[in-house]
Structure 1
Amino acid sequence: MTEQGQGQGRVRPSGVWATAVGVARVRALETERADPLFRDPLARAFAAAGGLWPSSPPPPEGDEAARRRRAGVALSIVIRTKFLDDLLRQAAASGIRQAVLLGAGMDSRAFRMNWPDGTRLFEVDTAPPLDFKDSVLRQERAVPRCRRIPVTADLREDWPAALAAAGHDAAEPTVWIAEGLLIYLPQDAVEVLLARIGAQSAPGSRMGLTLASRGVIERFATDAAPGSAASLWVSEMPDDPVDWLAGHGWDAQAHTLRERAAAYGRPLSTSPGHEEGPGSLIAAVRR
């Protein structure tokens, strides 16, 4: 699934995880704003190493709908990043000192956020994105602000064993983040993932999820180019995500992207194609 970057000895992004580089580009653009909702100093380096800086492939000429969809997705990435940043800060303030990023991709929260002493942040992903990421981190001489622990594991396999071997303590509360992940997993795999998270979560653990609606799946995935990340979107959010998570042992709050965007001073466009934000944001606490 991967190729070596010519002359650089790096893994070239491919497959689903290549979208992590696109997310990094969005975060880099947000960082350059005069009024950013967050700053991610490493995002530009990830995007450049993946060939998406300073530009990315444009939509087909004249495809205004595609341009609007791309802008909507970019804004949703900015909003969800801010939402999950806040969730992590709240978890840390509550005393939680373990964080797990599932499908971590190019996430740089270990480096860009301030963490209490003793915090351990586990980044779970497969080898290609972690290797790519580490090559950029070495180049940038990046220094984490907590104990960063990469965990090489496939989320379709026995990742809890790999996480435990890396030092995660299931008896202590954990904050879990699954950002832009569930949409790529079939529903049965999502259920298994939630069950496994629950089994590793002490009471008081927290979780942040991003979910997508049926309309978003239909709008973005069915019209996407074959082999693109959007064409692989398969899992929509349940009709009642709060009730769904209650069945897994979590007390949850669901927020629409439109609601959070307005709260952050970045309201979503109401132009055609933007009638609904591409998904929901979930904050949950383990009973």
Structure 2
Amino acid sequence: MSTVQPSGVWATAVGVARIRALESARGEAALFRDPLAAAFATAGGLSLSPRTAETPERERSEAEQAAWRRWTGVAFSIVVRTRFLDDLLDAATAAGVRQVVLLGAGMDSRAYRLDWPAKTRLFEVDTAEPLEFKESVLRAERAEPACERITVAVDLRDDWPAALLGAGFDPGAATVWIAEGLLIYLPEEAVAVLLGRVGELSAPGSRMGLTLGGRGVLERFSQDRGTPAAMWVSEMPEDPVGWLAGLGWDAEAFTLRERGAAYGRPFSEPPQRDEGPGGLISAVLRTRDTDARS
């Protein structure tokens, strides 16, 4: 299969697939298994050799060492958030949810690699270019989904709710929504609009899993030009739980360090003084009865 040179924000999804492939290669120590990740990365022209610094640590400048630590942390965050959202989806389906929406799905292969209950429907929402690239890889791999998988080619800046409804989404059914590695690329106003639309489409019993850019992340990565960080535009609010409560969701926030340690994968780098609250969010739609009592 020939390689394709991804561009723009969706190119980052291929980079995420590379990190998932390297994690999957850890064998029994891996926090998850993603058998399709290597195919996505290879088709996007990325090497699957573990990345090493271009120069030995003793020869690196202070700025080079700092950049290396930052991007080591990004790889760690991708691994931990993947496991976190896998667990969230497992919990949602165990609670009876049978409708899943992946917003900005990228190279997500959960439709193929998770153990879905019967009658689960999974919608992948993304623009046409990454979906077409993904389909070409899936065809080459002869991959078969473990649930009903429906792709919805639409830009999240457009009327994606109409496109989702047109693809067969049932607004009367409880849904688990996933926005992984997405919101950091959207301005704050666009994030509010997106989550407002999610709330409008969510039936009682719906759940949501989000990843948010940590406090101070834009400043820490401000010098990383020519990297995905150059496209980051927003970070989490000071009180993400309170923010989501205002949108009708009862949320819990977890830090990457907390979840990494819980998974037996502690992060060795010292915490940033401005890291703030957790950027991994698990939320449940508040019922009308709860609203009435509050």
Post-superposition Cα deviations, 1:46-87, rounded to whole Å, max 9, x if no partner, equal: 000011122488666432222211111101100000000000
* Partner residue, 2:235: 236
| 1:245-260 alignment, distance < 5 Å | 245-260=244-259
**Helix, strand or coil: the match of 2:254?**
strand
The question of 1:49 aligning with 2:43 is answered yes
Q: CA deviation at 1:277?
A: 9.1
The residue type paired with residue 224 of structure 1 is D
AA aligned to 2:26 is: R
Q: For the Cα contact (< 8 Å) 1:211–1:281, is it kept in 2?
A: yes
Query: Could you tell me how far 1:215 is from its partner in structure 2?
Result: 1.5
1:149 pairs with 2:142: no
SS of 1:16's equivalent in the other structure is coil
Counterpart for residue 203 of structure 1: 204
Name the CA distance, whole Å, in 2 between partners of 1:97 and 1:20. Answer: 25
What is residue 186 of structure 2 aligned with on the other side? 185
Residues 257 and 277, structure 1, Cα contact 8 Å, conserved in 2: no
Partners of 1:258 and 1:277 within 8 A in 2? no
Aligned Cα root-mean-square deviation (Å): 2.0
SS in structure 2 opposite 1:22? Answer: helix
Unaligned runs of 5+ in 2: 287-294
Alignment-derived partner of residue 16 in structure 1: 9
- Structure 1 runs (4+) deviating above 6 angstroms are 272-275
**Displacement after TM superposition at 1:213 (Å):** 2.2
For the residues of structure 2 that align with 1:279 and 1:53, how far apart are their CA atoms? Answer: 31
Question: Is the CA contact (8 Å cut-off) linking 1:76 and 1:278 kept in structure 2?
Answer: no
User: Tell me, which stretches of 5 or more residues in structure 1 are unaligned?
Assistant: 1-6
Q: Which residue of 1 aligns with 2:292?
A: none
Q: How does 1:89-168 map to 2 (within 5 A)?
A: 89-168=90-169
* TM-score, with structure 1 as normaliser: 0.92
Taking the aligned partners of 2:51 and 2:170, their CA distance within structure 1 comes to: 43
| Aligned position for 2:21 | 28
| Partner secondary structure for residue 111 of structure 2 | helix
Asked if 2 retains the 8 angstrom alpha-carbon contact of 1:216 and 1:279, the reply is: no
Cα distance per residue 1:196-237 (max 9 Å; x no partner): 0000000110000001123112112x11114x3211111110
Work out which of the two has the higher radius of gyration on C-alpha atoms and give 1 or 2. 2
Contact between 1:183 and 1:236, CA under 8 Å: does it hold in 2? Answer: yes
TM-score norm. by structure 2 comes to 0.90
Alpha-carbon distance, 1:12 to partner? 2.4
